[in-house]
Amino acid sequence: MMKSRRGLTALIVLIFVTTQWIVLGIRRNKELESGFDKIVAGMSREKVTALIGSPSRVQRNCDEAIVFRARPNFAQCSEEDVYPISFTVSDHWEIYFDKQGRVLYITAILSP
Protein backbone atom coordinates (compact mmCIF):
# COMPACT_ATOMS: atom_id res chain seq x y z
CA MET A 1 0.00 0.00 0.00
CA MET A 2 2.82 2.41 0.89
CA LYS A 3 4.66 1.81 -2.41
CA SER A 4 1.54 2.49 -4.47
CA ARG A 5 0.98 5.79 -2.62
CA ARG A 6 4.57 6.85 -3.28
CA GLY A 7 4.18 5.95 -6.91
CA LEU A 8 0.93 7.86 -7.18
CA THR A 9 2.45 10.88 -5.42
CA ALA A 10 5.47 10.80 -7.74
CA LEU A 11 3.18 10.59 -10.77
CA ILE A 12 1.07 13.54 -9.59
CA VAL A 13 4.20 15.63 -8.94
CA LEU A 14 5.59 14.72 -12.37
CA ILE A 15 2.33 15.69 -14.10
CA PHE A 16 2.18 18.98 -12.16
CA VAL A 17 5.79 19.94 -12.92
CA THR A 18 5.44 19.04 -16.60
CA THR A 19 2.22 21.04 -16.90
CA GLN A 20 3.81 24.07 -15.25
CA TRP A 21 6.83 23.85 -17.56
CA ILE A 22 4.56 23.77 -20.62
CA VAL A 23 2.39 26.65 -19.38
CA LEU A 24 5.44 28.79 -18.59
CA GLY A 25 6.95 28.08 -22.02
CA ILE A 26 3.73 29.00 -23.81
CA ARG A 27 3.39 32.18 -21.75
CA ARG A 28 7.02 33.16 -22.42
CA ASN A 29 6.55 32.64 -26.17
CA LYS A 30 3.44 34.85 -26.15
CA GLU A 31 5.25 37.56 -24.13
CA LEU A 32 8.18 37.50 -26.54
CA GLU A 33 5.96 37.61 -29.62
CA SER A 34 3.93 40.48 -28.22
CA GLY A 35 7.07 42.36 -27.15
CA PHE A 36 8.89 41.87 -30.43
CA ASP A 37 5.97 43.44 -32.27
CA LYS A 38 6.64 46.64 -30.29
CA ILE A 39 10.42 46.83 -30.79
CA VAL A 40 11.57 49.31 -33.44
CA ALA A 41 14.92 50.45 -34.78
CA GLY A 42 16.45 53.14 -32.57
CA MET A 43 14.82 51.83 -29.36
CA SER A 44 17.12 51.71 -26.33
CA ARG A 45 18.33 48.46 -24.79
CA GLU A 46 16.59 49.45 -21.53
CA LYS A 47 13.21 49.68 -23.28
CA VAL A 48 13.79 46.36 -25.03
CA THR A 49 14.63 44.66 -21.73
CA ALA A 50 11.54 46.22 -20.11
CA LEU A 51 9.39 44.77 -22.90
CA ILE A 52 10.77 41.24 -23.22
CA GLY A 53 13.25 40.68 -20.40
CA SER A 54 16.91 39.71 -20.58
CA PRO A 55 18.25 37.63 -23.46
CA SER A 56 19.47 34.10 -22.95
CA ARG A 57 22.67 34.94 -24.81
CA VAL A 58 24.56 38.08 -25.81
CA GLN A 59 27.00 37.82 -28.69
CA ARG A 60 29.61 40.59 -28.71
CA ASN A 61 30.81 42.13 -31.98
CA CYS A 62 28.02 40.46 -33.99
CA ASP A 63 30.44 37.71 -35.04
CA GLU A 64 27.64 35.20 -35.63
CA ALA A 65 25.25 37.67 -37.27
CA ILE A 66 24.76 35.69 -40.47
CA VAL A 67 21.31 37.11 -41.27
CA PHE A 68 22.25 40.69 -40.44
CA ARG A 69 25.66 40.63 -42.17
CA ALA A 70 24.19 41.59 -45.57
CA ARG A 71 22.42 44.69 -44.20
CA PRO A 72 23.92 48.12 -45.00
CA ASN A 73 24.27 49.11 -41.33
CA PHE A 74 26.06 45.90 -40.26
CA ALA A 75 29.31 47.80 -39.60
CA GLN A 76 27.53 49.67 -36.78
CA CYS A 77 26.59 46.41 -35.03
CA SER A 78 28.09 46.00 -31.58
CA GLU A 79 26.00 43.24 -29.95
CA GLU A 80 23.47 40.59 -30.85
CA ASP A 81 20.91 39.45 -28.26
CA VAL A 82 19.32 36.03 -28.68
CA TYR A 83 15.91 35.02 -27.29
CA PRO A 84 15.08 31.33 -27.84
CA ILE A 85 11.57 30.19 -28.63
CA SER A 86 10.36 27.53 -26.20
CA PHE A 87 9.89 23.94 -27.39
CA THR A 88 12.12 24.33 -30.44
CA VAL A 89 15.69 23.32 -31.09
CA SER A 90 16.97 26.27 -33.08
CA ASP A 91 14.17 28.83 -33.49
CA HIS A 92 14.87 32.17 -31.86
CA TRP A 93 14.58 35.94 -32.11
CA GLU A 94 17.63 38.14 -32.59
CA ILE A 95 18.07 41.84 -31.84
CA TYR A 96 21.13 43.73 -33.05
CA PHE A 97 22.39 46.81 -31.18
CA ASP A 98 24.85 49.56 -32.03
CA LYS A 99 27.58 50.85 -29.69
CA GLN A 100 25.12 53.28 -28.07
CA GLY A 101 22.77 50.42 -27.16
CA ARG A 102 20.15 51.28 -29.79
CA VAL A 103 18.31 48.69 -31.87
CA LEU A 104 19.59 48.35 -35.43
CA TYR A 105 17.67 45.31 -36.63
CA ILE A 106 15.24 42.66 -35.36
CA THR A 107 14.68 39.24 -36.89
CA ALA A 108 13.15 35.86 -36.17
CA ILE A 109 15.11 32.73 -37.12
CA LEU A 110 12.53 30.00 -37.76
CA SER A 111 13.04 26.52 -39.10
CA PRO A 112 10.95 25.54 -42.13
CA distance 66 to 3: 55
Domain CATH number, residue 57: 3.30.1450.10
Q: How many domains does the chain have?
A: 1
Between 2 and 60, where is the model more confident? 60
CA dist 81 → 6, 17, 21, 24, 52 (Å): 44, 29, 24, 21, 11
pTM: 0.73
Give yes or no for residue 102 having a pLDDT over 90: yes
Q: Mean pLDDT across the stretch 38-66?
A: 86
Domain of residue 82, residue span: 2-109
Task: Name the band, by pLDDT with cuts 50, 70 and 90, for residue 49.
Answer: very high
pLDDT digits over 63-78, tens only? 666 665 666 667 778 8
CA distance 66 to 84: 17
Give yes or no for residue 91 having a pLDDT over 90: no
